[in-house]
Amino acid sequence: MKKAVWSGAIAAAALLISTPVFAQTTATAALGVTASVNAKAKLSLGVASITFPDTDPDVTAVMTSSAVTIDVKARTSGTVTLTVLAGGDLTTGSANIPITSLTWTATGSGFIAGANDKTTAQTVGSWAGSGNPNGSQTFSLPNSWSYATGTYTATLNYTLTVP
């Protein structure tokens, strides 16, 4: 009986011939992404109302409120403006205190001090671009012996404008 002896080179060649060879292929695709980011605005006041308690004008010449916190949220590429417009004077029955007597100081970046008006909106703050500025207003009202007795009321209407 004869025995076949294969040499190493011939065995390797036989192995290569019997193994199938595949060409490498690559597939690609693209995905478009769109995110809609529109101008948005949110305004939050820390309280719904302020009250000046009755005090003696000789003791307290100017009545001062607690600070009212203001939280502004805006998304824009323009200038954000916060204004306030009084709905009218402080009134009780037929008596009134001019709303321009009600002034405020302000804290926080972009917030400014001012006085209320019933015909022209007054700027409370202004900021460039998107952000979340916050601050506060503290209101003051002169205390006078000449005021008629009663409970005076007025409404302050805030507007946050985001282009």
E strands of the chain, at which residues? 40-45, 62-64, 68-75, 79-86, 90-92, 95-97, 103-107, 114-115, 122-128, 134-142, 156-161
Q: Where are the alpha helices (DSSP H) in the chain?
A: 8-18
* Per-residue pLDDT, 11: 53
Walk me through the domains of the chain, giving residue ranges and CATH numbers: 44-161 (2.60.40)
Q: Digits of tens for pLDDT over the chain (163 positions)? A: 555 555 555 555 555 555 566 778 999 999 999 999 999 999 999 999 999 999 999 999 999 999 999 999 999 999 999 999 999 999 999 999 999 999 999 999 999 999 999 999 999 999 999 999 999 999 999 999 999 999 999 999 999 999 8
* Per-residue pLDDT, 5: 55
Residue 134 phi, psi dihedral angles, 5° rounding: -140, 150
* Per-residue pLDDT, 19: 58
